[in-house]
A = this chain, B = another copy of it.
Amino acid sequence: MSLQDEIISVCQAARAAARVLAGAATEGKNRCLRDAAARLRAESGRLIAINSGDVQRGREAGLSAALVDRLTLTLARVEAMAKGLEEVAKLPDPVGETMAQWRRPNGLEIGQVRVPLGVVGIIYESRPNVTADAAALCLKAGNAVVLRGGSEALATNAAIAAVLADAVAAAGLPGAAIQLIATADREAVQVLLRQDRYIDVIVPRGGESLIRAITESSRVPVIQHYAGVCHTYVDEYADLAMAERICFNAKVQRPGVCNAMENMLVHAAVANRFLPPMIRRLQEAGVEIRGCERTRQIAPGVAAANEEDWRTEYLDLILAVKVVDSLPEAIAFINTVGSGHSDAIITEHLTHARQFLAQVDSAAVYVNASTRFTDGYEFGFGAEVGISTNRLHARGPMGLRELTTYKYVVHGSGQIRE
Protein backbone atom coordinates (compact mmCIF):
# COMPACT_ATOMS: atom_id res chain seq x y z
CA MET A 1 0.00 0.00 0.00
CA SER A 2 1.35 3.47 -0.83
CA LEU A 3 1.94 5.96 1.99
CA GLN A 4 -1.01 8.00 0.72
CA ASP A 5 -3.39 5.01 0.66
CA GLU A 6 -2.19 3.97 4.09
CA ILE A 7 -2.91 7.36 5.61
CA ILE A 8 -6.24 7.67 3.86
CA SER A 9 -7.30 4.30 5.23
CA VAL A 10 -6.23 5.37 8.75
CA CYS A 11 -8.33 8.53 8.38
CA GLN A 12 -11.33 6.64 7.01
CA ALA A 13 -11.22 4.23 9.93
CA ALA A 14 -11.08 7.18 12.32
CA ARG A 15 -14.08 8.80 10.60
CA ALA A 16 -16.13 5.62 10.86
CA ALA A 17 -15.16 5.21 14.52
CA ALA A 18 -16.11 8.84 15.21
CA ARG A 19 -19.68 8.20 14.09
CA VAL A 20 -20.05 5.42 16.64
CA LEU A 21 -18.21 7.26 19.40
CA ALA A 22 -20.46 10.29 18.93
CA GLY A 23 -23.32 8.28 20.37
CA ALA A 24 -21.35 6.66 23.21
CA ALA A 25 -22.74 7.12 26.72
CA THR A 26 -20.69 9.15 29.19
CA GLU A 27 -20.29 6.23 31.57
CA GLY A 28 -18.88 4.02 28.81
CA LYS A 29 -16.28 6.63 27.87
CA ASN A 30 -15.33 7.12 31.53
CA ARG A 31 -15.00 3.40 32.17
CA CYS A 32 -12.76 3.14 29.12
CA LEU A 33 -10.54 6.00 30.37
CA ARG A 34 -10.17 4.40 33.81
CA ASP A 35 -9.40 1.03 32.22
CA ALA A 36 -6.79 2.66 29.95
CA ALA A 37 -5.14 4.10 33.06
CA ALA A 38 -5.02 0.66 34.66
CA ARG A 39 -3.55 -0.83 31.49
CA LEU A 40 -0.84 1.83 31.28
CA ARG A 41 0.18 1.03 34.87
CA ALA A 42 0.11 -2.73 34.23
CA GLU A 43 2.17 -2.33 31.06
CA SER A 44 4.60 0.25 32.39
CA GLY A 45 7.57 -2.17 32.30
CA ARG A 46 6.97 -3.04 28.66
CA LEU A 47 6.40 0.61 27.71
CA ILE A 48 9.64 1.69 29.39
CA ALA A 49 11.54 -1.09 27.59
CA ILE A 50 10.15 0.00 24.23
CA ASN A 51 10.93 3.62 25.08
CA SER A 52 14.54 2.77 25.88
CA GLY A 53 14.94 1.77 22.22
CA ASP A 54 13.73 5.20 21.11
CA VAL A 55 16.02 6.85 23.66
CA GLN A 56 19.03 4.89 22.46
CA ARG A 57 18.33 5.70 18.81
CA GLY A 58 17.89 9.36 19.81
CA ARG A 59 21.24 9.43 21.60
CA GLU A 60 22.93 7.83 18.59
CA ALA A 61 21.30 10.39 16.32
CA GLY A 62 22.76 13.15 18.49
CA LEU A 63 19.63 14.47 20.26
CA SER A 64 20.47 17.08 22.90
CA ALA A 65 20.34 16.05 26.55
CA ALA A 66 17.18 18.17 27.00
CA LEU A 67 15.42 16.39 24.14
CA VAL A 68 16.52 12.99 25.40
CA ASP A 69 15.05 13.90 28.78
CA ARG A 70 11.73 14.94 27.20
CA LEU A 71 11.66 11.67 25.29
CA THR A 72 12.40 9.39 28.25
CA LEU A 73 9.59 7.47 29.98
CA THR A 74 9.97 6.67 33.67
CA LEU A 75 7.65 4.91 36.09
CA ALA A 76 6.68 8.31 37.46
CA ARG A 77 5.85 9.60 33.98
CA VAL A 78 3.72 6.57 33.15
CA GLU A 79 1.94 7.07 36.47
CA ALA A 80 1.36 10.74 35.59
CA MET A 81 -0.20 9.72 32.25
CA ALA A 82 -2.46 7.21 34.01
CA LYS A 83 -3.53 9.82 36.58
CA GLY A 84 -4.23 12.22 33.72
CA LEU A 85 -6.62 9.71 32.12
CA GLU A 86 -8.44 9.26 35.45
CA GLU A 87 -8.77 13.03 35.82
CA VAL A 88 -10.35 13.32 32.36
CA ALA A 89 -12.78 10.55 33.32
CA LYS A 90 -13.99 12.78 36.20
CA LEU A 91 -14.73 15.82 34.02
CA PRO A 92 -18.28 16.57 32.93
CA ASP A 93 -19.12 15.33 29.43
CA PRO A 94 -19.80 18.31 27.14
CA VAL A 95 -21.70 16.21 24.58
CA GLY A 96 -25.47 16.49 24.57
CA GLU A 97 -25.70 19.86 26.31
CA THR A 98 -28.53 22.00 24.94
CA MET A 99 -26.84 25.34 24.28
CA ALA A 100 -30.04 27.15 23.31
CA GLN A 101 -33.62 26.26 22.56
CA TRP A 102 -36.46 28.35 21.16
CA ARG A 103 -39.84 28.12 19.49
CA ARG A 104 -40.65 29.82 16.19
CA PRO A 105 -43.99 31.51 15.47
CA ASN A 106 -44.96 28.55 13.24
CA GLY A 107 -44.48 26.16 16.17
CA LEU A 108 -41.13 24.68 15.12
CA GLU A 109 -39.00 23.95 18.18
CA ILE A 110 -35.31 24.49 17.48
CA GLY A 111 -32.59 23.25 19.80
CA GLN A 112 -28.86 23.87 19.43
CA VAL A 113 -27.22 20.75 20.84
CA ARG A 114 -23.53 20.16 21.51
CA VAL A 115 -22.06 17.22 19.52
CA PRO A 116 -18.49 16.00 18.98
CA LEU A 117 -16.37 17.70 16.33
CA GLY A 118 -15.66 14.36 14.64
CA VAL A 119 -12.04 13.53 13.87
CA VAL A 120 -9.26 15.58 15.45
CA GLY A 121 -5.70 15.45 14.12
CA ILE A 122 -2.96 16.12 16.67
CA ILE A 123 0.55 16.79 15.38
CA TYR A 124 3.08 17.09 18.18
CA GLU A 125 6.75 17.07 19.03
CA SER A 126 8.70 14.74 21.19
CA ARG A 127 7.08 14.40 24.67
CA PRO A 128 5.26 11.04 24.53
CA ASN A 129 2.74 11.90 27.27
CA VAL A 130 0.87 13.99 24.69
CA THR A 131 -0.18 10.70 23.08
CA ALA A 132 -2.22 9.77 26.16
CA ASP A 133 -3.31 13.29 27.16
CA ALA A 134 -4.59 14.31 23.74
CA ALA A 135 -6.25 10.98 23.02
CA ALA A 136 -8.07 11.08 26.37
CA LEU A 137 -9.48 14.57 25.82
CA CYS A 138 -10.59 13.75 22.29
CA LEU A 139 -12.22 10.50 23.46
CA LYS A 140 -14.06 12.18 26.33
CA ALA A 141 -15.49 14.77 23.92
CA GLY A 142 -16.64 11.91 21.65
CA ASN A 143 -14.04 12.47 18.94
CA ALA A 144 -11.79 10.05 17.14
CA VAL A 145 -8.17 11.15 17.04
CA VAL A 146 -5.37 10.74 14.52
CA LEU A 147 -2.03 11.24 16.26
CA ARG A 148 1.24 12.12 14.63
CA GLY A 149 4.09 12.43 17.08
CA GLY A 150 7.77 13.15 16.57
CA SER A 151 9.68 10.45 14.70
CA GLU A 152 12.20 10.08 17.55
CA ALA A 153 9.34 8.82 19.80
CA LEU A 154 7.70 6.61 17.20
CA ALA A 155 7.93 3.24 18.97
CA THR A 156 6.93 4.74 22.32
CA ASN A 157 3.95 6.62 20.90
CA ALA A 158 2.79 3.57 18.96
CA ALA A 159 2.92 1.42 22.10
CA ILE A 160 0.98 3.97 24.18
CA ALA A 161 -1.62 4.44 21.45
CA ALA A 162 -2.06 0.67 21.15
CA VAL A 163 -2.71 0.34 24.90
CA LEU A 164 -5.35 3.06 24.69
CA ALA A 165 -6.97 1.59 21.57
CA ASP A 166 -7.16 -1.79 23.33
CA ALA A 167 -8.97 -0.17 26.24
CA VAL A 168 -11.41 1.48 23.84
CA ALA A 169 -12.13 -1.83 22.12
CA ALA A 170 -12.47 -3.63 25.48
CA ALA A 171 -15.11 -1.07 26.48
CA GLY A 172 -17.15 -2.08 23.43
CA LEU A 173 -16.29 1.14 21.62
CA PRO A 174 -14.44 1.28 18.27
CA GLY A 175 -10.71 0.89 18.90
CA ALA A 176 -10.10 2.67 15.58
CA ALA A 177 -11.07 5.88 17.41
CA ILE A 178 -7.41 6.14 18.43
CA GLN A 179 -5.07 6.11 15.46
CA LEU A 180 -1.37 6.78 15.24
CA ILE A 181 0.48 7.47 12.00
CA ALA A 182 3.29 5.01 12.57
CA THR A 183 5.87 5.94 9.97
CA ALA A 184 8.95 8.13 10.17
CA ASP A 185 8.34 9.33 6.59
CA ARG A 186 8.02 13.12 6.74
CA GLU A 187 5.73 13.14 3.72
CA ALA A 188 3.08 11.54 5.97
CA VAL A 189 2.24 14.90 7.55
CA GLN A 190 1.71 16.46 4.13
CA VAL A 191 -0.69 13.68 3.17
CA LEU A 192 -2.50 13.99 6.49
CA LEU A 193 -3.01 17.74 6.02
CA ARG A 194 -4.86 17.11 2.76
CA GLN A 195 -7.50 14.79 4.29
CA ASP A 196 -10.19 17.44 4.77
CA ARG A 197 -12.80 14.84 3.81
CA TYR A 198 -12.02 12.82 6.93
CA ILE A 199 -10.37 15.15 9.44
CA ASP A 200 -12.29 18.09 10.89
CA VAL A 201 -9.53 20.01 12.63
CA ILE A 202 -5.78 19.86 13.20
CA VAL A 203 -4.34 20.92 16.54
CA PRO A 204 -0.56 21.27 16.33
CA ARG A 205 1.30 21.14 19.63
CA GLY A 206 4.82 22.44 19.37
CA GLY A 207 6.91 25.45 18.52
CA GLU A 208 6.00 28.32 16.24
CA SER A 209 7.88 26.92 13.22
CA LEU A 210 5.92 23.64 13.41
CA ILE A 211 2.62 25.54 13.59
CA ARG A 212 3.52 27.87 10.71
CA ALA A 213 4.59 24.99 8.47
CA ILE A 214 1.35 23.14 9.18
CA THR A 215 -0.83 26.19 8.60
CA GLU A 216 0.81 26.89 5.26
CA SER A 217 0.14 23.49 3.79
CA SER A 218 -3.05 22.36 5.52
CA ARG A 219 -6.37 22.03 3.78
CA VAL A 220 -7.89 21.01 7.12
CA PRO A 221 -8.66 23.92 9.49
CA VAL A 222 -5.85 24.42 12.02
CA ILE A 223 -6.23 25.74 15.56
CA GLN A 224 -3.05 27.61 16.27
CA HIS A 225 -1.47 28.47 19.54
CA TYR A 226 1.19 30.91 18.61
CA ALA A 227 3.43 32.85 20.92
CA GLY A 228 2.31 34.65 24.04
CA VAL A 229 3.88 38.11 24.08
CA CYS A 230 1.96 39.16 27.21
CA HIS A 231 1.94 42.63 28.74
CA THR A 232 1.26 44.10 32.13
CA TYR A 233 0.51 47.83 32.08
CA VAL A 234 1.00 49.67 35.38
CA ASP A 235 -1.38 52.61 35.17
CA GLU A 236 -0.79 55.96 36.87
CA TYR A 237 -3.69 55.06 39.19
CA ALA A 238 -2.31 51.63 40.10
CA ASP A 239 -1.91 50.36 43.64
CA LEU A 240 1.86 50.12 43.26
CA ALA A 241 2.32 47.44 45.91
CA MET A 242 -0.24 45.26 44.11
CA ALA A 243 1.40 46.09 40.76
CA GLU A 244 4.78 44.92 42.07
CA ARG A 245 3.33 41.64 43.37
CA ILE A 246 1.49 40.93 40.12
CA CYS A 247 4.34 41.86 37.77
CA PHE A 248 6.79 39.79 39.79
CA ASN A 249 4.46 36.82 39.65
CA ALA A 250 3.72 37.22 35.93
CA LYS A 251 7.43 37.22 35.07
CA VAL A 252 9.10 34.98 37.62
CA GLN A 253 6.70 32.30 38.84
CA ARG A 254 7.15 30.23 35.67
CA PRO A 255 8.90 32.16 32.90
CA GLY A 256 8.94 29.37 30.30
CA VAL A 257 5.21 29.39 29.50
CA CYS A 258 3.12 31.36 27.04
CA ASN A 259 1.10 33.30 29.64
CA ALA A 260 4.18 34.73 31.39
CA MET A 261 4.76 38.49 31.05
CA GLU A 262 7.31 39.51 28.42
CA ASN A 263 6.77 43.31 28.30
CA MET A 264 6.05 45.58 31.27
CA LEU A 265 4.62 49.03 30.49
CA VAL A 266 4.65 51.73 33.15
CA HIS A 267 2.91 55.11 33.12
CA ALA A 268 5.40 58.00 33.28
CA ALA A 269 3.66 59.54 36.31
CA VAL A 270 4.57 56.56 38.51
CA ALA A 271 7.69 55.27 36.76
CA ASN A 272 10.10 57.05 39.11
CA ARG A 273 8.46 55.54 42.18
CA PHE A 274 7.61 52.13 40.75
CA LEU A 275 10.54 51.11 38.60
CA PRO A 276 13.60 51.25 40.89
CA PRO A 277 12.32 48.80 43.56
CA MET A 278 10.53 46.63 40.94
CA ILE A 279 13.62 46.32 38.76
CA ARG A 280 15.79 45.62 41.81
CA ARG A 281 13.47 42.84 42.95
CA LEU A 282 13.34 41.30 39.47
CA GLN A 283 17.10 41.47 39.09
CA GLU A 284 17.55 39.79 42.47
CA ALA A 285 15.39 36.96 41.13
CA GLY A 286 17.75 36.64 38.16
CA VAL A 287 15.69 38.56 35.60
CA GLU A 288 17.59 40.40 32.89
CA ILE A 289 15.96 43.78 32.18
CA ARG A 290 15.96 45.42 28.74
CA GLY A 291 14.56 48.94 28.88
CA CYS A 292 13.49 51.86 26.72
CA GLU A 293 15.50 55.09 26.99
CA ARG A 294 13.36 56.47 29.81
CA THR A 295 13.58 53.24 31.77
CA ARG A 296 17.35 53.40 31.50
CA GLN A 297 17.41 56.98 32.81
CA ILE A 298 15.44 55.87 35.86
CA ALA A 299 17.36 52.61 36.35
CA PRO A 300 20.95 53.10 35.21
CA GLY A 301 22.78 49.99 34.15
CA VAL A 302 19.77 48.44 32.43
CA ALA A 303 20.48 47.21 28.88
CA ALA A 304 18.73 48.87 25.91
CA ALA A 305 15.70 47.13 24.39
CA ASN A 306 15.67 47.10 20.60
CA GLU A 307 12.68 46.90 18.25
CA GLU A 308 12.84 43.14 18.14
CA ASP A 309 12.70 42.81 21.94
CA TRP A 310 9.15 44.15 22.10
CA ARG A 311 7.90 41.40 19.81
CA THR A 312 9.87 38.54 21.38
CA GLU A 313 8.42 35.73 23.47
CA TYR A 314 11.47 35.20 25.68
CA LEU A 315 10.09 32.21 27.63
CA ASP A 316 12.96 33.02 29.94
CA LEU A 317 14.01 35.32 32.80
CA ILE A 318 14.22 38.35 30.52
CA LEU A 319 11.83 41.32 30.62
CA ALA A 320 11.42 44.31 28.31
CA VAL A 321 10.33 47.50 30.12
CA LYS A 322 8.84 50.65 28.59
CA VAL A 323 7.63 53.94 30.04
CA VAL A 324 4.49 55.31 28.34
CA ASP A 325 2.72 58.66 28.63
CA SER A 326 -0.90 57.53 28.54
CA LEU A 327 -3.34 54.66 28.61
CA PRO A 328 -4.10 55.02 24.86
CA GLU A 329 -0.38 54.76 24.13
CA ALA A 330 -0.20 51.56 26.19
CA ILE A 331 -3.25 50.07 24.43
CA ALA A 332 -1.95 50.94 20.96
CA PHE A 333 1.46 49.49 21.82
CA ILE A 334 -0.05 46.23 23.06
CA ASN A 335 -2.27 45.89 20.00
CA THR A 336 0.76 46.49 17.75
CA VAL A 337 3.54 44.35 19.24
CA GLY A 338 1.49 41.90 21.36
CA SER A 339 0.35 38.52 20.17
CA GLY A 340 -3.29 38.75 21.27
CA HIS A 341 -2.79 36.22 24.04
CA SER A 342 -3.12 37.73 27.55
CA ASP A 343 -2.63 41.31 28.75
CA ALA A 344 -3.29 43.01 32.07
CA ILE A 345 -3.80 46.50 33.44
CA ILE A 346 -3.10 47.33 37.07
CA THR A 347 -5.27 50.28 38.07
CA GLU A 348 -7.83 51.53 40.58
CA HIS A 349 -9.35 53.86 37.94
CA LEU A 350 -12.67 52.38 36.79
CA THR A 351 -12.83 54.10 33.40
CA HIS A 352 -9.22 53.20 32.63
CA ALA A 353 -9.93 49.55 33.47
CA ARG A 354 -13.01 49.50 31.24
CA GLN A 355 -11.17 51.16 28.38
CA PHE A 356 -8.30 48.68 28.58
CA LEU A 357 -10.63 45.65 28.75
CA ALA A 358 -12.65 46.90 25.78
CA GLN A 359 -9.82 48.04 23.53
CA VAL A 360 -7.04 45.53 24.02
CA ASP A 361 -7.75 42.91 21.39
CA SER A 362 -6.49 39.77 23.13
CA ALA A 363 -7.94 36.38 24.01
CA ALA A 364 -7.78 37.24 27.73
CA VAL A 365 -7.68 40.73 29.22
CA TYR A 366 -7.16 41.27 32.95
CA VAL A 367 -7.54 43.99 35.49
CA ASN A 368 -5.53 43.64 38.70
CA ALA A 369 -4.46 40.02 38.21
CA SER A 370 -1.51 38.10 36.81
CA THR A 371 -1.61 37.02 33.15
CA ARG A 372 -0.45 33.62 34.41
CA PHE A 373 -4.11 32.66 34.94
CA THR A 374 -4.81 32.11 31.23
CA ASP A 375 -5.00 28.35 31.47
CA GLY A 376 -7.73 25.76 31.13
CA TYR A 377 -7.31 24.56 34.71
CA GLU A 378 -7.20 28.06 36.21
CA PHE A 379 -10.28 29.06 34.18
CA GLY A 380 -12.10 26.05 35.63
CA PHE A 381 -12.30 23.95 32.46
CA GLY A 382 -10.64 21.01 34.26
CA ALA A 383 -8.34 20.23 31.35
CA GLU A 384 -6.62 21.95 28.49
CA VAL A 385 -5.93 20.99 24.90
CA GLY A 386 -3.95 24.18 24.41
CA ILE A 387 -4.41 27.93 24.31
CA SER A 388 -5.74 29.11 20.97
CA THR A 389 -4.54 32.35 19.44
CA ASN A 390 -7.08 31.80 16.64
CA ARG A 391 -10.16 33.98 16.55
CA LEU A 392 -12.30 31.32 14.87
CA HIS A 393 -14.05 28.52 16.80
CA ALA A 394 -11.92 28.58 19.97
CA ARG A 395 -10.05 31.54 21.44
CA GLY A 396 -7.92 31.30 24.57
CA PRO A 397 -7.84 28.20 26.78
CA MET A 398 -9.37 25.18 25.03
CA GLY A 399 -11.11 22.64 27.23
CA LEU A 400 -13.41 19.76 26.34
CA ARG A 401 -16.16 22.08 25.09
CA GLU A 402 -13.83 23.53 22.52
CA LEU A 403 -13.45 20.01 21.07
CA THR A 404 -17.15 19.98 20.21
CA THR A 405 -19.46 21.59 17.65
CA TYR A 406 -23.26 21.69 17.56
CA LYS A 407 -26.20 20.58 15.48
CA TYR A 408 -29.69 22.01 15.21
CA VAL A 409 -32.40 19.58 16.31
CA VAL A 410 -35.80 20.68 15.02
CA HIS A 411 -39.13 19.26 16.18
CA GLY A 412 -42.16 19.94 14.02
CA SER A 413 -45.75 18.81 13.68
CA GLY A 414 -46.04 18.87 9.92
CA GLN A 415 -44.69 22.37 9.17
CA ILE A 416 -44.03 23.21 5.53
CA ARG A 417 -42.52 26.34 4.00
CA GLU A 418 -45.06 28.68 2.43
**Residues of A bordering B, CB below 8 Å:** 19, 22-23, 102, 104, 108, 110, 115, 117-118, 196, 200-201, 215-216, 219, 221-222, 239, 242, 245-246, 248-250, 253-254, 335, 357-359, 361-370, 372-374, 378-380, 390-393, 395-397, 405-417
Contact = CB atoms under 8 A, between A and B. Distances in A.
Contact of A413 (B249, B368, B396, B415): B368
Contacts of A397: 408
B410 A102 contact: no
B414 A406 contact: no
A185 to B, nearest CB: 23
B246 A363 contact: no
26 contacts: A19-B335, A19-B361, A23-B359, A104-B378, A108-B373, A108-B378, A117-B392, A200-B391, A201-B391, A216-B219, A221-B221, A242-B414, A246-B414, A246-B415, A363-B408, A364-B408, A365-B407, A365-B408, A366-B412, A368-B412, A369-B410, A369-B413, A372-B416, A395-B407, A396-B407, A396-B408
Contacts of A374: 408
A358 B111 CA distance: 12
Contacts of A390: 221
Contacts of A406: 395
B221 A369 contact: no
Contacts of A370: 412, 415-417
Among A108, A196, A359, max chain B CB count under 10 A is at: A108
Contacts of A254: 417
A392 B201 contact: yes
Closest 8 CB pairs of A and B: A369-B412, A249-B416, A372-B417, A393-B393, A364-B408, A369-B415, A242-B414, A368-B412
A118 B368 contact: no
A380 to B, nearest CB: 6
Given A335-B19, A365-B410, A405-B391, A246 B380 contact: no
Q: How many copies of this protein are present in the complex?
A: 2
Nearest to A396: B408
Contact of A412 (B222, B362, B367): B367
Contact of A368 (B407, B409, B414): B414
B373 A415 contact: yes
A285 B242 CA distance: 76
B245 A117 contact: no
B392 A221 contact: yes
Contacts of A407: 361-365, 395-396
A15 B417 CA distance: 41
A22 B365 CA distance: 15
Contact of A215 (B196, B246, B250): B196
Among A239, A361, A379, A414, max chain B CB count under 10 A is at: A414
B201 A410 contact: no
Contact of A369 (B22, B358, B379, B414): B414
Nearest to A331: B19
Nearest to A16: B335
Nearest to A249: B416
A378 B417 contact: yes
A171 to B, nearest CB: 19
A408 B222 CA distance: 21
A178 to B, nearest CB: 20
